[in-house]
Amino acid sequence: MKKLIVFAVAAVAAISCAKQMNDLVHEEVVAEITAFKAEGELSSSISKASKTVEVKFAEGTDLSKVTVNTFTVTEGATCTPDIKAGDIINLSEPVTVTLTTYDPYVWTVKATAEKTEPDPQTDPDPQPKEGPQLYNMGFDHWMQYEDKKFGGAKVDVLYDEDATDEEKTVWGSAAASTKMLGYDSVLKETDFLAVTGEGKKALKLQTCGISAMFGLVKKLAAGSVFNGYTGDIDIAKMSAHIFWGIPFTDKPKTLEGYACYKPAKIDWTQDPYKSMEGQLDKGHVMVILSDWTTPYDVCPPSSLLDFDNDPGIIGYGKVVFDKEMQAYEKFTVDIEYRNERTPKLITIVCSSSALGDYFTGGAGSTLYLDEFKLTY
């Protein structure tokens, strides 16, 4: 009888202990949507208080087929239904998702399409005006340069022999680093042009899947040019330091130009875009006006620019190319200004793979560009 009593007491203690373990108060980790961007949006905002994401589009946008460019949540949280970059979702009605850490949190994503018109008080004359341009925006001036910093690689650069030292710094690229490994990512185009004539040329950017040094080096390199210059290579990251920005103090309204895009299917991926393998690649052209005191040091994928929240950005605009083109098509990048400050630097960035900074894209994707112009 004594043994039975002891056993009963032990059992009660064990049950009590298990109940205490199950009733432990866990540290609350609130699950939130931390970033959301959609292709073609005018703006988007996240309210943690009301657990909502509001996205604005231009009038006439098909809200039933919205492509998600960015979607991130609190680390460790799960999302039901699962949404990720590259997905196409229906926002013609509000979409609810449940984010779960220890507890569930219901968030709502909703969209509106609204008419956009010039404000007569702030934009009294919407007609383009003439204003300052950058050197070689028609991409007609080229020469071949031997870059000793990158093993003596001979690359085509966007200036001619008569260019001043200042003009030589306008258009930069990482072409020397890919050429050193036997791949051409930035090329002079003399046959396929938007505007023909004596001395006319265009810019050809192509994405390369690089396999070098007997397969020890495997990286995607998007064809890219930008206003700025290339610094040293970070061997550990297999990436180059890119410095964005050249002096410029005006406020253009748009960047216009001609583009022809030949995308390949994405066959090189890296987190957080692994799920995009097999999708059609996209190219882009973007414009940044900033009052950074020095050019911005970009070293993908660890050092990237936060286009939405960087306090130095005064104006920003981007156009995305997401289809096969048979000929050159005119494009316009509308520059949206976030404040009244005066710019110090301008950065135009062009890439044959929009996610090239994340080493994600389709080898062979090709973007032809010609005849750029800033309008005021």
343 found inside a domain: yes
Contact call for residues 347 and 296 (beta carbons, < 8 A): yes
- The model's pLDDT over 173-206, given as tens digits with 9 standing for 90+, comes to 988 878 877 889 999 999 999 999 999 999 999 9
Q: What is the CATH number of the domain that holds 204?
A: 2.60.120.890
Read off the pLDDT of each residue in 10-15 and give the average, rounded to a whole number.
41
229 and 316 belong to one structural domain: yes
68 and 186 belong to one structural domain: no
13 found inside a domain: no
304 and 238 belong to one structural domain: yes
Domain assignment of residue 97, given as a range: 33-114
For position 9, what pLDDT does the model report?
37
DSSP readout, 3-14? HHHHHHHHHHHH
For position 6, what pLDDT does the model report?
39
132 found inside a domain: no
124 found inside a domain: no
Q: What is the CATH number of the domain that holds 89?
A: 2.60.40.2340
55 and 161 belong to one structural domain: no
CA distance 232 to 212: 19
236 and 304 belong to one structural domain: yes
For position 262, what pLDDT does the model report?
97
CA distance 69 to 60: 20
76 and 207 belong to one structural domain: no
18 found inside a domain: no
3-class DSSP assignment, residue 36: strand
- The model's pLDDT over 230-262, given as tens digits with 9 standing for 90+, comes to 887 665 555 678 899 999 999 999 999 999 999
For position 65, what pLDDT does the model report?
94
90 and 153 belong to one structural domain: no
174 and 293 belong to one structural domain: yes
CA distance 125 to 361: 40
9 found inside a domain: no
191 and 306 belong to one structural domain: yes
105 found inside a domain: yes
Q: Which of 29-33, 128-132, 293-297, 346-350 has the highest mean pLDDT?
A: 346-350
Of the pLDDT bands very low, low, confident and very high (cuts 50, 70, 90), residue 3 is very low
The answer to whether residue 162 scores a pLDDT higher than 80 is yes
CA distance 150 to 295: 21
CA distance 58 to 256: 20
361: left (phi over 0), alpha (psi -120 to 50) or beta: left
208 and 327 belong to one structural domain: yes
Residue 307 neighbours by CB under 8 Å, 6+ apart: 286, 288, 313, 316
Strand spans (E) along 183-306: 186-189, 202-206, 208-212, 217-221, 224-234, 239-244, 246-247, 254-262, 283-290, 296-298
Of the pLDDT bands very low, low, confident and very high (cuts 50, 70, 90), residue 7 is very low
CA distance 283 to 304: 18
Residue that terminates a domain, selected from 98, 114, 130: 114
Residue that terminates a domain, selected from 99, 114, 129: 114
Give the chain's domain count: 2
DSSP readout, 108-130? EEEEEEE-----TTT-S--S---
- The model's pLDDT over 52-106, given as tens digits with 9 standing for 90+, comes to 999 999 988 999 999 999 999 999 999 999 999 999 999 999 999 999 998 999 9
- Cα atoms in the Cβ-side hemisphere of radius 13 Å centred on 325: 23
94 and 236 belong to one structural domain: no
pTM of the complete model = 0.65
- The model's pLDDT over 31-54, given as tens digits with 9 standing for 90+, comes to 999 999 999 999 999 999 899 999
197: left (phi over 0), alpha (psi -120 to 50) or beta: left
24 found inside a domain: no
95 and 200 belong to one structural domain: no
